[in-house]
Amino acid sequence: MNDATFAHYPLFADLRGERCLVVGGGTVAARKAEALLAAGAAVTVVAPALGPALAARATAREIVHRPTGFAPSQLEGVLLVVAATDDAATNHAVARSARARAKLVNVVDDPDVSTCINPALVRRGPLTIAIGTGGASPVLARLVRARLEALLPQALGRLATLAARFRARVKCRFEALDARRRFWEKQLDDQSPVLRALEAGDEAAAERLLEAALAARRDTAPRGFVSLVGAGPGDPELLTLRALRTLQRADVVLYDRLVPAAILALARRDADFEDVGKVQGLKGSEQTAINARLVELARRGRHVVRLKGGDPFVFGRGGEELLALRAAGIDYEVVPGITAAVACAAAAGIPLTHRGLAQQVTFVTAHGEDAHADLDWPALARGRHTLAFYMGVGRVAQIRDGLLAHGRDPGTPAAIVERGTTPQQRVWLTTLEALPATVAARAVQAPAMILVGEVAALAAEPGGSGAVQPEAATPALERVA
Ligand code: SAH
């Protein structure tokens, strides 16, 4: 139980009418008894003497008081035990007896001998958010609680209460679970007029709005919808808020393999997930199949999220999907994402258009059979020009040869960022000349970004204060050649 990595099993318990035992009669015991009473429990307090708060409850017959010491027989018929005396030995004895009888037991300030603990709470009416760290850091739990307190409007409690009142009627009106969920999502959303009315303190208006929404009944044939969403370079922190919200509303998520599990985990729990992508370069037929699948799912009325690495429109075939949706008359939206070039430059500390070093930056795809022939090498080879090569790992020789043949300086700095922004990120700094040798020697794997240009020389360790010495190779940034 002292393992810092363990996590409690989270549980909301319905204690109405359940017998609970509090051992101890002081202020801490009183606080525990109050919380149990608030949950509707039948509370018995065992203590030779009671403090004023508990004494008042006993007089009012809101608790049962046993003016004795603790005895194991008192656990009969009890669901939950709280040991709240100021004597550790007594508390431990209570815990031992309780555990021997398979009762849930909470020992105040002693999670090690407890089988359950009280989480930090954020409450808005019936809406309850419980925060725990498995004992790893109660301070962290409190800080998170403070943040949530600041974030969540008080009106959420009134919203929850109002929702409870309408629940049965909405269920009657919208028989299909999907339709019901959509109705509620719209009404409970943080932009919903109902919530705004409640925030303004106008409960009557909120209720009228909900009545009107219920009467409108437009949801019988839901219109499908596709969101083309950029998932960013890999770090979930680099998702946009809109991408996050869209993911949390998805019925189906079609994702590329470049999208990490940590981001998929942010999607709505009961969404369906379809893995449709390769790490790099889909064949035309596969792309056609994805386009068709998007249209098919949307026609069935589902909210489809097409989740793509980086930005959907930067070498992501998002354009083809967009055209297919337009042609089929499907409603869609595009949620931009942070593209790999921008993210990798940031992660490696390379300012893409540093004054004096670069006047332009070009995103280039090195992929495709004819990439070498197709690219405008004379333009790319000009100095003071940063080049961000996508899908370039297998084509570094062509990149170097093309640029050198058109006059780019062989000593031009080049950075390679592998799996940028993820925990596996690796960065190398080399030269244009030595680029292929570096990629081979370091066994660079896709996905990797190749940044060529004078600005690449500014690469530094993430969070580092300065450039790294060539010989001081680190996993974060290694200077080669
Ligand atoms: N739409 C994506 C790019 C898709 S093409 C975007 O906007 O970022 C796939 C290429 O992107 C990969 O071959 C690699 O060059 C680059 N890439 C994507 N994620 C990356 C990452 N985390 N680190 C380095 N390169 C990445």
Residue 14 lies in a domain: no
Mutate to test the pocket of ligand 1, among 315, 365, 428 (most ligand atoms within 8 A of CB): 315
Q: Does the pLDDT value for residue 241 go beyond 90? A: no
- Give whole-number Cα distances, 311 to 66, 305, 433, in Å: 67, 14, 30
∠ CA 77-43-83, nearest 5°, is 85
In a domain, 184, yes or no: yes
**pLDDT tens per residue, range 1-49:** 455 567 889 999 999 999 999 999 999 999 999 999 999 999 999 999 9
Distance spanning both ends of the chain, measured CA to CA = 51
Q: Name the residue type at position 318.
A: G
Strand 360-365 versus strand 385-390 pairing type: parallel
CA pair distance 312, 335, nearest whole angstrom: 8
* pLDDT more than 90, % of the chain: 72
Cα angle for residues 262, 266, 271 (degrees, 5° grid):
115
Query: Based on the domain organization, do 467 and 368 belong to the same domain?
Result: yes
Residues 303 and 384 in one domain: no
pLDDT average, residue stretch 157-180: 92
Q: Is residue 126 part of a domain?
A: no
Catalytic residue among 87, 112, 202, 278: 278
Same domain (yes/no): 346, 320: no
Between 86 and 472, whose confidence is greater?
A: 86
d(CA 415, CA 435): 9
Structure tokens at 278: 């390769």
Smallest Cα–Cα separation from 431: which of 452, 456, 414, 406? 414
Q: Residue 194: is its pLDDT beyond 70?
A: yes
Q: Give residue 136's pLDDT band: very low, low, confident or very high (50, 70, 90).
A: confident
Cα–Cα dist 1/370, whole Å = 61
Q: Are residues 179 and 257 in the same domain?
A: no
Q: How far apart are CA 359 and CA 355, in angstroms?
A: 7
pLDDT bin (cut points 50, 70, 90) of residue 197 is: confident
d(CA 341, CA 361) in angstroms, rounded, equals 10
> Quick one: what percent of the chain has pLDDT higher than 70?
91
CATH number for the domain harbouring residue 293:
3.40.1010.10
Which phi and psi angles does 168 have, rounded to 5°? -65, -40
Contact yes or no for 49/67 (Cβ under 8 A) = yes
Q: Which two tokens stand for residue 19?
A: 């017998």
CA of 1 to the centre of ligand 1 (A): 43
pLDDT at residue 196, as a whole number: 80
Instruction: Using the 3D structure, point to which of 118, 135, 167 is the last residue of a domain.
Output: 118
* 3-state helix vs strand vs coil in the chain, percent to 5: 40, 20, 40
Told to judge if 278 belongs to the known catalytic residues of this protein, a careful annotator would answer yes
Predicted confidence (pLDDT) at residue 149 exceeds the cutoff of 90: no
Q: Are 377 and 405 in contact (CB under 8 A)?
A: yes
Q: Nearest Cα to 64, choosing from 82, 86, 41?
A: 41
Query: Are 469 and 436 found together in one domain?
Result: yes
- Is there an atom of ligand 1 within 6 Å of 318 CB? no
Reply yes or no on whether 256 is catalytic.
yes
In a domain, 132, yes or no: no
pLDDT, tens digit, for every residue of 330-371? 989 999 999 999 999 999 999 999 999 999 999 999 876 555
Same domain membership, residue 443 and residue 317: no
Structure tokens given for 472: 């001081």
Question: Do 281 and 389 sit in the same domain of this protein?
Answer: no
Q: Residue 111 belongs to a domain with what CATH number?
A: 3.40.50.720
Q: How many angstroms separate the alpha carbon of residue 360 from the centre of ligand 1?
A: 20
Q: Is 344 in the pocket of ligand 1 (CB under 6 A)?
A: yes
Residue that terminates a domain, selected from 272, 303, 338: 338
Instruction: Choose which residue among 239, 258, 425 to substitute to test ligand 1 binding: the one with the highest number of ligand atoms within 8 A of its C-beta.
Output: 258
Quick check: 470 pLDDT over 50?
no
Mean pLDDT across the chain: 89
* Rounded distance between C-alpha atoms, residue 28 and residue 51, angstroms: 10
401-418, pLDDT tens digit by residue? Answer: 999 999 999 999 999 999
Query: Which is it for the CA torsion 175, 181, 186, 187, positive or negative?
Result: positive
Residue 334 has φ and ψ, to the nearest 5°, of: -120, 125
* For residue 113, pLDDT beyond 90: yes
**Would you say 44 and 19 are in contact if contact means Cβ atoms under 8 Å apart?**
yes
Tell me the pLDDT band of 374, cut-offs 50, 70 and 90: confident
Is residue 236 situated within a structural domain? yes
Query: Of 283, 312, 338, which residue sits at a domain end?
Result: 338
At residue 284 the predicted structure's pLDDT band, cuts being 50, 70 and 90, is low
What's the CA gap between 180 and 134, in Å, rounded? 35
Residue 222 is given by DSSP the state P
- CB neighbours (10 Å) of residue 417? 30
In terms of pTM, does the model score above 0.75? no
3-state secondary structure 366-409: CCCCCHHHHCCHHHHCCCCEEEEEECCHHHHHHHHHHHHHCCCC
Give a yes or no: residue 129 inside a domain.
Answer: no
Domain shared by 107 and 33, yes or no: yes
Euclidean distance between CA atoms 314 and 417, whole angstroms: 18
Ligand 1: atom nearest CA of 446 is 13
For the cut 70, the answer to whether the pLDDT of residue 461 exceeds it is: no
Number of domains in the chain: 4
In this prediction, residues 160-165 reach a mean pLDDT of: 95
Asked whether residue 474 is assigned to any structural domain, the reply reads yes
Q: Do 303 and 322 have their domain in common?
A: yes
184 and 236 housed in the same domain: no
Which CATH number is 452's domain given? Answer: 3.30.950.10
Number of Cβ within a 10 Å radius of residue 270: 9
List the one residue out of 5, 40, 8, 38 whose CA is nearest residue 106: 8
Of 187, 132, 119, 131, give the one whose Cα is nearest residue 156. 187
The mean pLDDT value for 417-427 works out to 94
pLDDT at 281: 57
Question: Do 311 and 254 fall into the same domain?
Answer: yes
Asked whether residue 130 is domain-assigned, the answer is no
Mean pLDDT of 228-249: 92
Other C-beta atoms within 10 Å of 295: how many? 20
Q: Distance, CA 118 to ligand 1 centroid (Å)?
A: 44
Q: Of residues 257 and 64, which shows the higher confidence score?
A: 64
Binning pLDDT at 50, 70 and 90, where does residue 481 land? Answer: low
Full domain range(s) for residue 62:
19-118
Verify whether ligand 1 is closer than 6 Å to residue 256 (CB atom): no
173 and 101 together in one domain:
no
